[in-house]
Structure 1
Amino acid sequence: MTPDLLAALQAAQVAKRPVALLTRLSDGQQCLWPETALPGALAEAAERALREDAAANVTLDGEAWFVHPHNPPLRLIVVGAVHIAQALVPMAQTIGFAVTVVDPRRAWATADRFPGITLIHEWTDDAMLALAPDARTAVVTLTHDPKLDDPALDIALRSEAFYIGALGSRRTHAKRVARLAEAGHGEAAMARIHAPVGLDIAAVTAPEIALSILAEIVAARRGAALARRAAPHATSAAAA
């Protein structure tokens, strides 16, 4: 790799800008996409590698290329430093998510409860605006408090976040939808919210619910065709 190409790759990583590194196998020639204009099929292969987070071999006009995606880390924003969050955060870290916990309640969001995790004690609207969720971000609200969850969901729905989940029963979510509708969100936006949050695995304990949430996030990220939950969590229903 040439010094100029290495510098460009490092600059993209610092800026958290997704780029694909393409190497022509016959002579080792390399380039970055989208910084470099490429033929349609090669550009499509680079875009697909970034979208799927997977390297690929491509042949174009008899030339073999290796496409290596360099994406910024996936992010998980957890609103609410609750027991479910304590189980969810380390699980998400294990599979490569950069996790941030947002909760203005300092007694809950502590380094003792979330060691090594970025904690934000601002109100959720200010925190979410600063975090600026993008297409590589999942957002999960767990406080069960409209004063904290609703502003976070409002901003998440105005973003490109690939996953938005909210704890609560169907009854709780119906009230939430009504409030978000008053904030200007339509049916298409509401349909983006996974609520009750998590896959239906009959989870009861906090770690089980965390597992169901993370599985649903991965399914959304990978485009798995999974049915939405038919019934709410027992835990969520009890909390309604």
Structure 2
Amino acid sequence: MKRDILDRLQADRDAHRSVVLATVLATGEQRLIHLGGNDPLQAEAEQAIRSDKPATVETPDGDVFLNVFNPRLRMLIVGAVHIAQFLAPMAQMTGYEVSIIDPRQAWATPERFPGITIIDEWPDDAMDELHPDHRTAVVTLTHDPKLDDPALNAALGSDAFYIGSLGSTRTHAKRVDRLKAAGFDDGKIGRIHAPVGLNIGAKSPAEIAVSVMGQVTAALRGAA
């Protein structure tokens, strides 16, 4: 690998940008393909990024190997509630680096969330530090506008690939009114999955966590 390619690849990784290293197998020629570019193999590269798997593509110049370098997957869960106790380990097992955000220290404890990163700050401060990117899912679970709304404001201003918020249709309607008053339009607000999770008739905290994890996975993989 040439030094300039290696330096740019390292810069992309440091900046948490997805990138594909394309190698023409017959010649060893290499180039980097980023999201939103216009490379001849742009569609194939972006499909490899979404699937998070390398691929070999046939071209007139011979086979090209697409090696994917994605930032780590992250899930930011706002609210150290019962659903989070099930969702956090599920997300970890699925490959996510999980953070629980909740300033209520009686709820956000290592005993309730063993092995999970706990951030006992207000969500707006935590989100400023965490910088959600296109490999980040944000899930708010508190039902408390003082906690959920600042997190949603930050998530809607980011490239987070998934934003979900717990609450009934009525609760979400009030949330929409608050977000509109904060300056968000229907397009932005439409990014929020609410009520959160797939409609599988979930009732218990564990079932709701399963429905959320399913919806997050569908969003990540581009499923309908």
Same fold (TM over 0.5): yes
CA shift for structure 1 position 3:
7.4
CA distance, structure 1, for counterparts of residue 31 and residue 114 of structure 2: 37
Identity value in percent: 55
Q: Normalization by structure 2: what TM-score?
A: 0.89
Q: Contact conserved, 1:102 with 1:124, CA < 8 A, in 2? A: yes
The SS at the match of 2:109 is coil
Q: Figure out how many residues of one structure are paired with residues of the other and give that number.
A: 222
* Deviation digits for residues 54-78 of structure 1 (CA, Å, limit 9, x no counterpart): 2211122241111110101121110
CA shift for structure 1 position 162:
1.4
State the partner residue of 2:18. Answer: 18
Q: Which amino acid aligns with 1:21?
A: L
Distance 1:32 1:93, change over 3 A: farther
Q: Which amino acid aligns with 1:97?
A: Y
Q: Which amino acid aligns with 2:171?
A: T
1:209-220 equivalences under 5 Å are: 209-220=208-219
1:117-136 equivalences under 5 Å are: 117-136=116-135
Distance 1:20 1:40, change over 3 A: closer
The SS at the match of 1:135 is coil
State the partner residue of 1:31. Answer: 30
Structure 1 unmatched ranges of 5 or more: 226-240
State the partner residue of 1:200. Answer: 199
Q: Contact conserved, 1:19 with 1:32, CA < 8 A, in 2? A: no
CA shift for structure 1 position 144:
1.0
State the partner residue of 1:96. Answer: 95
Q: Which amino acid aligns with 2:155?
A: A
* Deviation digits for residues 114-164 of structure 1 (CA, Å, limit 9, x no counterpart): 122221111111111221112211111001111100111111111121111
Distance 1:189 1:11, change over 3 A: closer
* Deviation digits for residues 159-215 of structure 1 (CA, Å, limit 9, x no counterpart): 121111111111111111111111111211221111111111111111100000010
Tell me whether 45-54 or 145-154 shows the greater mean CA deviation: 45-54
CA distance, structure 1, for counterparts of residue 15 and residue 178 of structure 2: 36
Distance 1:52 1:143, change over 3 A: same
Q: Contact conserved, 1:41 with 1:60, CA < 8 A, in 2? A: no
Q: Normalization by structure 1: what TM-score?
A: 0.83
Q: Contact conserved, 1:21 with 1:30, CA < 8 A, in 2? A: no
Structure 2 unmatched ranges of 5 or more: none
CA distance, structure 2, for counterparts of residue 127 and residue 51 of structure 1: 27
Distance 1:43 1:178, change over 3 A: closer
Over aligned residue pairs, what C-alpha RMSD do you find? 2.2
